[in-house]
Amino acid sequence: MSTLVLVPLLVPLSLGALLLLGSRLPIGLQRAIGLGGGLIFLAAALGLLVQSIQGSVAATLIGDWPAPYGILLVCDRLSALMLTLTALLACASLLSATDGTDTRGRHFHALFQFQVFGLAGAFLTGDLFNLFVFFEVLLIASYGLLLHGGGAARTRATLLYVVLNLVGSSLFLMATAMIYAATGSLNMAHLAGEFAGLEPTDAALVGVAGMLLVTVFAMKAALLPLHAWMVPAYAAATAPVAVLFAILTKVGVYALLRLLILLADVGPDQPMLAPLELILSLAAVLTIAAGSLGVVASARLRPMIAYLVMVSVGTLLAGIAVGTSDGLGATLYYLIHTTLTTGGLFLLADLVAAGRVQGGRLLIGDQRQSTRVLAPLFLLGALAVVGLPPLSGFLGKVWILDAVKAAAPVSGPVVWPWVWGAVLGSSLLVLLGLSRAGVLLLWRGRDGEPARLTVSPRSAAADRSRPGALAATIGLLTASPLLMLFAGPLTAYTLATADQTLDNNDYVAAVAALVPTSEAVSARSGGLQP
Amino acid sequence: MEWLFAVSIGLLTGCGVYLLLRARSFSVVLGLLLLSHAVNLFVFAAGGLSVNQAPLIGRGSPYADPLPQALALTAIVIGFAMIAFVLMLALRALNDLGSDRVDARRGDEEQ
């Protein structure tokens, strides 16, 4: 029983409710409450991370109901890692919102806390139905946040996003019902045992449900045939919201990973699930290809970065589809890198766009003093995203490619050349696209000469007026060199996480070891056994 | 009773998907509504269909599985709220974009 697991849920939930009631509070106080909540969340996430490094899986029963029936929260290494990433992004996003974005609509801080609540719940829950509920919580908050700031482009993007997600939710519920009908349980640790010894008819039902869930999570992760919502939404959102959304696609990747590990128990001879690995690898390759073409074709910086998110999701999936602990460790390292870096790039795009009439269109803009700060930051972010040494994207991509090649004896000789081709080709295309963007936006002057950087007091003052956004951008983008500097302990951690996640025994054992504290409840649970 | 139940779910789903594929936002909202009804019935049926059985355990008599009923209740609440939200959003899109087509193009270039 661990109460620390409750903190990342209760803090955003209560602060969100408080902010909703106090929507007329002065904006300074709202910001303080929001940022305070973000910092408490970060502290709790780090606490859980330390706990998980020591090797223990923290779990707690809500309301003291026994395990397969009650609501339960489990925090293993993977959950702790995702929570910490969420917390870092949330703090950076809140910091950048203090420059005035949060006053462009109502209830920004309340919605933000609810979004964090939903994210934390999705990473902590040990129950398939509660995963659905937390998905809905984070989705409804994200609808509000996406609309924040108003405007026709945002409305249009949100309508598409909401309709697609509602269809996804319907499929999710149907799959959940099928799994319950086949196994009589929705507890993920419990399902791991149930899936192993299924009757053939039940196994077929679980196979269908599994494919439905893969579809739903692939949509959340923006894989190729189901990516239509992603680029308009990420390009239309205000910058702090886009930063937090950098974790949204990773929720889909996380859920997909957990699901694949569960489905592995059903057995590979199940006809519905047999081609799963091949389908996922194919989707990954196509997603990478489409994303890279999108990067090259973008006429604006924001959609370009949204396409970069798509490329990164494809790369992550290629690593997950390998199914070895080496591949998963590489994927998790790349996940940390790509989440933080793309978050930083979204903020940077907003800063670049701020001084320009055309709002971030790739045109030769007016050169400002800010270029002196922004251009090196853009260079740093671009190098990290493309995967050039000496930054973390390089290590992540090389490690994933290596793992894909190493798994060739198992996955067959077909998969790895395609993945290699896609990842390497996309790196080249992304390099071209980002070079073009950087040269046009930040380097070349009006007459084609390199821009001369002169200090003008007016633009310098304009820069100083957004210290929050600049600090958050620098914070997120310096993550990449730090990831490279501390690559030793980090890769050890992601490898251990991959082992624990794939093995699944710690998770199941931690849930099985949960016993309700009060005797009365234990007695009541006796009547529940059929 | 099973065939009636199954046919109803199938009909609701079919109509819902048909309406979803229309290009007008009001049809899409109606399609989502029908689809969510179908899903609620589907979740309800996951525990097996039975007549005259209370979802109460421990009274000796045979009982209906209470969990799918609780799940369906949650799904109804969430689905209802989402439909209300998407209806308001569709109205706002009609206002902002000047058209009720889901792929309306106006306003693309605005920030």
d(CA A459, CA A499): 51
- On whether residue B86 sits in a domain, the answer given is yes
User: Is residue A231 within 8 Å of residue A160, measured between CB atoms?
Assistant: no
Alpha-carbon distance A97 to A38, whole Å? 13
Alpha-carbon distance B40 to nearest alpha carbon in chain A (angstroms): 8
Contact between residue A255 and residue A132 where contact means Cβ atoms under 8 Å apart: no
Residue A382 tokens read as 């671009």
Nearest CB neighbour to B32, from listed A166, A173, A181: A166
Domain annotation covers residue A26? no
Report if residue B107 sits inside a domain.
no
Chain A residue with CA closest to B49: the answer is: A181
- Answer for the pair A146, A241: CB distance below 8 angstroms, yes or no: yes
Question: Is residue B57 included in any domain, yes or no?
Answer: no
Of the partner residues B35, B79, B104, the one whose CB lies closest to the CB of residue A156:
B104
In whole angstroms, what is the distance from residue A4 CA to residue A51 CA?
10
| Cβ neighbour number for residue A408 with a 10 Å cutoff | 14
Residue A442 lies in a domain: yes
Q: Which of A136, A152, A159 lies closest to B78 in CB terms? A: A136
Give dist(CA A166, CA A163) in Å, integer.
5
Q: Is residue B26 part of a domain?
A: yes
DSSP A224: G
Q: Which of B12, B39, B61 to mutate to test the interface with A (most CBs of A within 10 A)?
A: B39
Alpha-carbon distance of A68 to A188, in angstroms, equals 9
Task: Check residue A127 and report its DSSP letter.
Answer: B
DSSP string, A62-83: ETT--TTTSEEEEE-HHHHHHH
Tell me if A493 is assigned to some domain: no
For residue A461, the model assigns a pLDDT of 45
Residue A98 amino acid letter: T
What per-residue string of b and e applies to A297-335 under the rule 16 or more CB within 10 Å gives b? Answer: ebebbbbbbbbbbbbbbbbbbbbbbbbbbbbbbbbbbbb
Domain assignment present for residue B7? The answer is yes
Query: Helix A152-183 and helix A128-147: axis angle, to 10°?
Result: 180
Determine the pLDDT at residue A335: 93
Which structural domain range is residue B36 located in? 2-50+65-97
Position A343 in a domain: yes
In B, residues 13-32, which contact A (CB 8 Å cutoff)?
A: 20, 25, 28, 32
User: Residues A238, A267: contact at Cβ < 8 Å?
Assistant: no
pLDDT at A522: 47
Q: Cα–Cα distance between B70 and B66 in angstroms, integer?
A: 6
Q: Specify which residues A444 forms β-bridges with.
A: A450
Helical H runs in A184-247? 188-196, 200-221, 230-236, 239-245
What is the C-alpha separation between A217 and A283, in angstroms, rounded? 13
User: Residue B22, CB half-sphere, CA atoms under 13 Å: how many?
Assistant: 14
pLDDT in tens, B65-108: 888 888 999 999 999 999 999 999 989 888 888 777 766 655 44
| Neighbour count for residue A512 (Cβ, 10 Å) | 14
For residue B108, which amino acid is it? D
Q: CA A294, CA A311: separation in Å to the nearest integer?
A: 9
Q: What is the pLDDT of residue A516?
A: 66
Matching residue, tokens 């809500």: A62
B interface test, pick of A130, A146, A155 with most B CB neighbours within 10 Å: A155
Which CATH number goes with the domain that contains B87? 1.10.287
Q: Identify the three-state secondary structure at position A527.
A: helix
The pLDDT of residue A465: 62
Q: Which amino acid is at A90?
A: A
Q: How many domains does chain B have?
A: 1
Instruction: List, in sequence order, the alpha helices (H) in A264-407.
Output: 276-297, 301-322, 325-354, 371-386, 392-406
Residue A133 contacts residue A25 (beta carbons within 8 Å): no
Number of helices (H) and strands (E) in chain A: give both, helices first: 24, 2
Give me A306's structure tokens.
Answer: 């949204």
Between CA B62 and CA A292 the distance in angstroms is: 59
What is the Cα–Cα distance from A101 to A94, expressed in whole angstroms? 10
Tens-digit pLDDT string for chain A (530 aa): 578 888 889 999 999 999 888 878 888 888 888 899 999 999 999 999 888 888 778 888 877 777 677 788 888 889 999 999 999 999 999 988 888 777 787 888 899 999 999 999 999 988 889 999 999 999 999 999 998 887 888 888 888 899 999 999 999 999 999 999 888 888 888 888 788 778 888 888 888 898 999 999 999 998 888 888 888 888 888 888 999 988 999 999 999 998 888 888 776 667 777 788 888 888 999 999 999 999 998 888 888 999 999 999 999 998 888 878 888 999 999 999 999 999 999 988 888 777 664 444 444 445 555 667 788 888 888 888 888 888 888 888 999 888 888 887 776 677 788 888 999 999 999 999 988 888 877 776 554 444 444 434 444 444 456 788 888 888 888 888 888 888 888 888 888 888 888 887 777 887 777 766 654 444 445 444 43
> Quick check: A155 and B81 CB within 8 A?
no
Residue that has been written with the tokens 């005797």 in this structure: A519
- Let me know the angle formed at the C-alpha of A231 by A225 and A235, rounded to the nearest 5 degrees: 175
For residue A12, cis peptide bond before it (omega within 30 degrees of 0): no
Q: Which helix (H) or strand (E) holds A365?
A: none
Parallel, antiparallel or unpaired: strands A58-62 and A71-75 = antiparallel
State phi, psi for B62 to the nearest 5 degrees.
Answer: -65, 145
Output the DSSP codes for A436-448: HHHIIIIIB-TTS
Q: Do A155 and B78 touch (CB under 8 A)?
A: no
Domain assignment of residue B27, yes or no? yes
**Where does A298-324 have alpha helices with state H?**
301-322
Report the C-alpha gap between A68 and A512 in whole angstroms: 9
In a domain, B59, yes or no: no
Rounded to whole angstroms, the Cα distance separating A487 from A451 reads 36
Contact at 8 Å (CB) between A159 and B89?
yes
Given CB atoms, is B76 within the 8 Å cutoff of chain A?
no
Non-local CB neighbours of A350 within 8 Å, separated by 6+ positions: A96, A238, A239, A360, A469
What DSSP designation does B104 have?
A: -
Whether A351 is in a domain gets the answer: yes
Beta bridge partners of A73: A60, A125
The label of the residue with tokens 């073409």 reads A293
Lowest mean pLDDT among A397-406, A439-448, B3-12, B53-62: A439-448
- For chain A, list residues whose CB is within 8 angstroms of any CB belonging to chain B: 69, 129, 133, 136, 140, 143, 147, 151-153, 155-156, 158-160, 162-163, 166-167, 169-170, 173-174, 176-178, 180-181, 359, 527-528
Amino acid A367: pLDDT: 52
Whether residue A152 lies inside any domain: the answer is: no
Is the residue at A394 inside a domain?
A: yes
Which of A152, A158, A173 is opposite residue B39, by nearest beta carbon?
Answer: A173
Residue in chain B lying closest to A181 (CA): B46
Is A409 buried (19+), middle (13-18) or exposed (0-12) by CB count in 10 A?
exposed
Q: Is residue B16 part of a domain?
A: yes
What is the SS3 assignment for A183? helix
Number of domains in chain A: 1
Could you say which of B86, B92, B107 has the minimum Cβ distance to residue A166? B86
Indicate whether A125 belongs to any domain.
Answer: no
Range of the domain at A412: 284-485
